[in-house]
Structure 1
């Protein structure tokens, strides 16, 4: 086909009343609709975006307005951090007196005591490992969930389960669900931001919107292979055009797009692109200020550990999270994923778990203390945890490692309407299985949504012929931990 013939055909097909328009508006246009639905992140619902922020959008009064999720990639060991097991200490080297899980990631041997001492802290008397001396100072503000459990012993599946509620299908992340249900409190910033996210074990799927409107997805700042100093929105400043010139340019683009829509009818993918242009323009006025940590005092930098080599990287993430929350971002995730070590100690437990804990302990404590003194902890839900825990039995021949363990592990919550200074649920005497007041990942999700004023049974989205939700067909709110 000659170029001129192609151009003429293209012009005819796009004329008002053309064959293309007729197909889109008639019964035989189903093929076109199917094609449009295959455009994934730019699907027919993409332009809908998050719901407008309003108290009337909640199913009941919310206890929390925003979430900070502290993701410890790799799986911290519960029996070496927040789940003290005297029996494990006493029986180290002995065989586990009951059956191990039918499905294991790798074979393990006998019981291995924690190499670290535990002490009681606060009025609650919570036992905390010497790995976390700073977080230990905050135990009376924390609700420890010592009976969490999941379904997958592999990093990829377990990380997806934690983030999306599914370990084998692409589903929207919990941040996307919160963003969809509540919207943003600040139209100049995204409703969901993820700082230095990992690109492994699910990668972008851990913060994607999947079939939810594209605007609900997390906006990544940097990634786990970069320093948090490099966690910025790229091209946030236009060095060639002034704001006034950009505004004129965007107005022209919007008018051109609207003229096209007037001729062809609604086109959600195009509308979504237009909305993304507008958000990017508005972000220029607020994002640089939000990530400018030079505005913070030296005392605040010290509180978060920005003046120490080991803690500066994660401290910057925590401080940015607080600044985003102050500015109305609904869901902020920060990831500790030391690319050299991580929390995945199949070996060298004694060497590497202290490195990880050192990097996050002071920054997390600083975040909790800072939120509290600013009056933000009351309506900010802070969630800490990894994709699973570790076995109390030893892995490898060096007597210095633990395998993956989704059967029982610890997560914790603080602020946002949870009871402070309590430990909920329990694992067995050795910390292998959750046995008392068990909290499945779906239960954690249901409880998080409940604290945000959302009924997990009602927060649904119609896709592929069925109603989907974060908790799928499971999940119970853990009412006992709600203040």
Structure 2
């Protein structure tokens, strides 16, 4: 009988195709993809998303409602509902902004002791130096607020909100060059290909607004500096609907969103309906979850044709808001305008808004370069904190400011009393957070007298990511995605929650 079956199969191409489609591997693949489609349906159901329940409900009821999420998330009651990450690309100089080191004033030009350097890795730009002359900051520092936080003269507006900020002065990273360091800060790994933070949150918690993407990116226009790549807000190996969507300044904030000439919304609706039927047939045949993901993106784009023009329209903002963010806020695409846009997106319950601002890479002319950057960003940073606070949003919005690493205390290149350059420094730098669940007016960590080594309470990038996820109610060890036979997470196999930062 088996012999006759083999003969029949060899002469019947249809039977061969059926057996090929329904062998054990394909059966398991297709049934698992069907579960993926069910998961997608859950993801698109905004009633199950974080934030869709009444905040006046009891804690148990709220957590129970949240836990309808397809992944059983959050794992515990979240403090944060949304996040804006103000990423300062290039490596801001903590020595000239926040990490005040008065003892350096008497050490101008002296060689940094080898006992401080401890044989640490140097960049190719400093590796040939035989001496490492100390360059004290020429900026004046003062203490502000009840927290008595040290802030330089370059940031008068930030000085006004220090009691809302939680400073981390002991950040550490593994990377010493820009691209791997930025990739590490944004994805938890130095190598490209991993999902970004926003994609992990989108995958884990879903959306709170069905008419806008969960994860939106804004980039300051015309800044130059170290290049930024779309993979920094990419979904990696997560389903494609979790990638970040870049909003641009200008007539079309999202490319290819507008209808072509002589084509209206009714035409697009019909096209999507027919396309959905065709893709449904394709999904039934192959079970590829990316078919559903792509259709979800098409439907989102259709809804965004109405929602994006509304949210990007600044005409309803009063003059006092523009004055608070600074004159640049009236110029779309500037850092100040993007900070104001971020607030509008957060008001619409976009879960993750990522701002990128380039130009912090001061290898030469550090004082002038940092001064110019602070002038572009300081007022808008503080305005965003004040604006969120006056709207009652800061209590459940997490604000993050920081770059990929810090700068060295020694000068790279020529050193004069008024001018110096600073190289990359991964072992000690400053970031700050504000809002949902973090201690306001709090300073955590400490560096040595040279801002070169952490001497108290180090915080690694993996720890930072674990803490961020914790604020959203997620146990970083349990937010996992299986890919190519391995279980991946944002923090890889590292990281711990820095509970001292939390309220």
Asked if 1:147 is matched to 2:170, the reply is yes
Shift of 1:26: 1.4
Matched residue, 1:6: none
1:377 is matched with: 394
Matched residue SS, 2:377:
helix
Q: Root-mean-square deviation (CA), in Å?
A: 2.7
Note if 1:219 corresponds to 2:241: no
Is 2:444 the counterpart of 1:444? Answer: no
- 1:305-330 deviation line (CA, Å, top 9, x unaligned): 14579998111110111111111111
Aligned CA distance change for structure 1 residues 18 and 237 (closer, same or farther; 3 Å): farther
Q: Does 1:315 align with 2:336?
A: yes
Which of the residues 212, 221, 234 maps onto 1:208? Answer: 234
- Out of 213-222 and 61-70, give the one that drifted further: 213-222
Mapped to 1, the partners of 2:22 and 2:421 lie a distance apart of 63
* Alpha-carbon distance between aligned partners in 2 of 1:310 and 1:403, rounded to the nearest angstrom: 32
Structure 1, 246-255 or 134-143: larger mean CA deviation: 246-255
Alignment partner for residue 421 of structure 1, among 441, 449, 461?
Answer: 441
Alpha-carbon offset, residue 303 of structure 1:
1.0
Q: Distance in 1 between matches of 2:342 and 2:331?
A: 19
Q: Conserved in 2, the CA contact under 8 Å of 1:306 and 1:313?
A: no
1:295 and 1:183 map into 2 onto residues whose CA distance is: 29
Equivalent runs, 1:34-433 vs 2, <5 Å: 51=43, 53-54=49-50, 55-56=66-67, 57-97=73-113, 98-100=115-117, 101-105=119-123, 106-107=125-126, 109-196=132-219, 203-222=229-248, 228-229=249-250, 232-238=253-259, 239-262=261-284, 264-307=285-328, 313-337=334-358, 342-399=359-416, 400-433=420-453
Q: Secondary structure at the match of 1:295?
A: coil
TM-score, normalised via structure 1 length:
0.87
Report SS of the residue matched to 1:367: helix
Deviation at 1:269, TM superposition (A): 2.4
* Residue segments in structure 1 that go unaligned for 5+ positions in a row: 1-15, 35-41, 223-227
Contact 1:147 1:410 in 2 (8 A): yes
Please state how far the C-alpha of 1:237 moved relative to its aligned partner: 2.5
Aligned to 2:6: none
Give the conservation status (yes or no) of the 8 Å contact 2:90–2:404: yes
TM-score (norm 2): 0.84
1:24 is matched with which residue?
Answer: 21
Residue 25 of structure 1 deviates from its aligned partner by 2.5
Deviation at 1:21, TM superposition (A): 5.3
Distance 2:155 2:94 in 1: 12
Aligned residues of 1:195 and 1:231 also touching (Cα < 8 A):
no
Judged with a 3 Å threshold, the aligned counterparts in structure 2 of structure 1 residues 373 and 401 are, in CA distance, closer, same or farther, namely: same
Cα distance change on mapping 1:167 and 1:230 into 2, 3 Å: farther
State the match for 1:225 in structure 2: none
Contact conserved, 1:155 with 1:201, CA < 8 A, in 2? Answer: no
Name the CA shift for 1:261/1:167 in 2 (closer, same or farther; >3 Å). closer
How many angstroms apart in 2 are the aligned matches of 1:391 and 1:196? 27
In the alignment, is the contact (CA less than 8 A) between 2:192 and 2:231 conserved in 1? no
1:102: how far off?
2.6
5+ residue gaps in structure 2? 1-12, 51-65, 68-72
Q: Distance in 1 between matches of 2:244 and 2:415?
A: 41
Contact preservation (8 Å) 2:116, 2:453: no
